[in-house]
Structure 1
């Protein structure tokens, strides 16, 4: 924004700002979609918090943080504050002893704040992906007829999810502390953050792959409850596969950015880095959220009732009453089902 002697105010938008603005609008759409789905689930299944509601809340939080971080960067970019962003050592001017230029004095803190602001939502996106894996694991457990305790398996998964989340956020906090405490080494710590987040993405995919193999081997001898349960699990597995591929793409892209020393917060004039970053966000974060919240919503979030309905008829009378109640709830849910985007006209 340029202020001259005349009252005219000129605001210029570069390609980087436009890319962040478009991404913010798309994330806003995802946030509205997640809010609608969460309200719908509360209406049909009550206010109790389960892994599926937690998955929606986690995805919504990731979208909200992306919007807030991009809005902050856009505001500084329009105000020409970005012109002061430079990951170079802070220089001191030995005037009157050890006097320091005010701009240089605040340079390190500003660079650190911008780096943290831009990177903040990455951890919760990884956490959302792992939580989706738990929802898939619960569906895989319910899709087969077995004698295992579902409660025991769920408790075990939640314990491991808590451990993973604790390590994930602890790593993020330590890295951000090093960014602010690093002084002139902001550029070095920023590179460490890029490599660490890339490694966490690829590590999460590897752990999910191990869980996938373990469950398939452990329950391969148990038959599916029904053909519908098998087909529904296949659809949920496809959603998880798409999320896994996008996490791999994101992790590799962050490694390429590190190797080529690309600073997304200060793209070169005429470069295609902002367009590449926008396409990366659409592929790796926006599209997965839309697929989860809309086109696979019925399959993922009504799987429990569908699997229960498909249980064998050789049950004692008390179990039969419980099944009838669940089927009735599922029928009311299907009549109250919120239309998908493809069904709206």
Structure 2
């Protein structure tokens, strides 16, 4: 047998391989998306940290080098309310680190910018017409979503519970990413803020599959062919891989981040809000250990990250990842260091071989 047990995602998205490269803001740009799409998977361009001009520029590079489908990913968080008292408390908590690194605790800090999907970005989607548009933290305003759907783009979003999956299906999603607690980066949680009750991939995927009619994409702790085969056995129609792609040369990550991934263990990641203000799975570093993992002092997403910027820059210049976001899932050590296109093809071949032997 050399075919996939479920080909609904290939038919829906117009791809050959049911592997989606997770959109990881700050780490993934056009090179990665091109390589994965050209290999037959779905390459994704994360847009949360890019200006509209930067998105257009990256998309132009993508269109020049591949005619395959591409996914543009956006965040749907509510813009934070300014809370000077909380932000001052946060700065006071970080002040000892500033002094240790010979930085002024009162220095001006950059604003942490992660833009939620809005009318300007919707205009961009209408103009550029990507084949797939994915969202994190729910979905945008219904008026905006209607405009996106009118372009013909397929709509995908992340669910961390069955209730979220049902909500997304009712709102018009064409496919749903079931994001297990093992996944690296920000939780897609949006109907609740209770991180203590998050569900693992093995338990979440089959329950979401049973609850919705649209295809389900498994995400979280999947980094090799065994994980892909397991996801399909649970009823998934595709997988989304993030951490596995961070090991590729196309990932634009710092040397300290790459080294942290290479030495990551199954037991040294945690869900933490101290890096951005919203729970996300990161390798535990000094900041996460000493201030978190979860802190009530951390300002609302994404404001917590602003005060960390000078600390991160100074520490990284000394080859330290003490204050850097080190997003990683729990299966990092299963990853292979290969070019993104080669990784996509190899994982597909190895998974198909395993299907064939069953």
Q: TM-score, normalised by structure 1?
A: 0.28
Q: Which has the larger radius of gyration?
A: 1
Q: By percentage of residues, which structure has more strand?
A: 2
TM-score (norm 2): 0.27
